[in-house]
């Protein structure tokens, strides 16, 4: 019976601490900053800059809240599973105890071996639950690290961008972006995931979210992309008529990959092909991008 007690204690010790979801208050509306800045200094970009920074911060705030909710739900589910395993172990052990005290020769040894087997089996299952939880929480922790490492101010332009400036042109195989073969390899990897279910935070063929799919597909081609969708506008921007397989369509909360023939492959529910577009549920479109190799 000592093995059962030790196994129960070990399972109890494995249980993760409860996680309280983080609900951050919304940012104030900075829309008035635009006309105010114009009144103070005609032509000043300060108001627009402030609104843009607030938009980035608001996006980060929403992302942190979603990550927190997702993590808290998985932790709570794991705690419930461990409690269920503990109860199951005790119930089965109680059923074996009468034979442990039986006067029948060999019954006590058989009961002892069965109790040891039960302890090892349930403890193994509990350890597996914790391993699964770690696999879910690790990418969420990476997402939080990227949010905290983002310095929006450093990315702000020092002068207003010229809206008429031409989009940089990149040729396949130049230093400006991945070569054509890498893009095609990324598309082939993504196509192999057609039909994969959508999983928030998913980064494996067991389930993908939008940026998890594109990051995984490019990783198969030897190119590493940032984890978050809004950060995958890396490399060089290309126009719609310059698209080649592997180029990314990036919004401020979604990303899809150009698969050729006027189609995007993206992690919906499930991973699927859809016609090329620049709209996505009201999100701001950041353009088509050819990742840097």
Does residue 217 have a cis peptide bond before it, meaning omega lies within 30 degrees of 0? no
* Spatial distance between the Cα atoms of 288 and 188, rounded to a whole number of angstroms: 19
Whether 198 and 272 have beta carbons less than 8 Å apart is answered as no
238 beta partners:
288
| CA–CA dist 164, 156 (Å, integer) | 19
Torsion, Cα of 128, 271, 230, 216 (10° steps): 50
What is the residue-level pLDDT of the chain in tens, covering all 293 positions? 678 888 888 888 888 887 776 666 665 665 555 565 555 555 555 545 555 655 555 556 666 777 777 788 888 888 888 888 889 888 888 888 788 677 777 788 888 888 888 888 888 888 888 888 888 777 777 766 666 654 443 343 444 444 444 444 433 334 444 578 899 999 999 999 999 998 878 889 999 989 999 999 999 998 999 988 888 999 899 999 999 999 999 998 889 999 999 999 999 889 999 999 998 877 889 999 999 75
Domains of the chain: which residue ranges?
Answer: 2-155, 180-290
Could you tell me where the DSSP H helices lie in the chain? 2-14, 33-40, 46-100, 107-149, 180-191, 210-220
Give one word for 170, left, alpha or beta, with left for phi > 0 and alpha for psi -120 to 50.
beta
Instruction: Give the number of other Cβ atoms within 10 Å of residue 73's Cβ.
Output: 13
Its pTM stands at 0.43
Instruction: Please say whether the beta carbons of 226 and 164 come within 8 A.
Output: no
Bridge-partner residues for 266, per DSSP? 272
pLDDT at 186: 95
The 8 Å CB, 24+ separation contacts for 51-55 are 52/156, 53/152, 53/153, 53/156, 54/27, 54/30
Question: What is the CB neighbour count within 10 angstroms for residue 150?
Answer: 18
Phi, psi of 285 (to 5 degrees): -85, 125
Residue 39 has a pLDDT of: 56
What is the model's pLDDT at position 273?
Answer: 94
Distances (CA, A) of 109 to 97, 99, 112: 12, 9, 5
pLDDT at position 37? 53
CATH classification number, 180-290, choose in 1.10.760.10, 3.90.1720.10, 3.40.720.10, 3.20.20.70? 3.90.1720.10
């Amino acid at each position: 019976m000592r093995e059962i007690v030790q196994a129960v204690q070990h399972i109890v010790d494995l249980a993760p601490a409860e996680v309280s979801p983080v609900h951050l208050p919304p940012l104030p509306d900075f829309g008035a900053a635009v006309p105010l800045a114009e009144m103070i200094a005609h032509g000043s970009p300060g108001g627009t800059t402030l609104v843009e920074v607030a938009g980035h911060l608001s996006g980060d705030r929403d992302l942190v809240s979603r990550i927190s909710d997702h993590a808290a739900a998985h932790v709570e589910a794991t705690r419930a599973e461990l409690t269920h395993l503990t109860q199951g172990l005790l119930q089965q052990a109680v059923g074996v105890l009468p034979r442990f005290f039986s006067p029948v020769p060999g019954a006590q040894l058989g009961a002892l071996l069965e109790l040891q087997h039960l302890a090892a089996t349930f403890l193994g299952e509990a350890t597996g639950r914790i391993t699964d939880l770690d696999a879910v929480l690790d990418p969420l922790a990476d997402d939080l690290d990227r949010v905290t490492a983002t310095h929006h101010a450093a990315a702000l332009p020092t002068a207003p961008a010229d809206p008429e400036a031409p989009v940089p042109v990149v040729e396949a195989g130049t230093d400006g972006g991945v070569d054509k073969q890498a893009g095609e390899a990324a598309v082939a990897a993504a196509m192999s995931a057609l039909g994969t279910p959508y999983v928030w935070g998913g980064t494996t063929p067991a389930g993908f979210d939008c940026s998890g799919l594109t990051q995984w597909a490019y990783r198969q081609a030897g190119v590493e992309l940032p984890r978050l969708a809004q950060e995958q506008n890396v490399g060089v921007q290309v126009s719609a008529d310059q698209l080649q397989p592997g180029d990314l369509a990036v919004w401020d909360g979604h990303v899809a990959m150009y698969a050729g023939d006027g189609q995007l492959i993206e992690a919906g529910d499930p991973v699927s092909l859809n016609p090329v577009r620049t709209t996505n549920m009201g999100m701001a479109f950041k353009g088509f991008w050819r990742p840097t190799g």
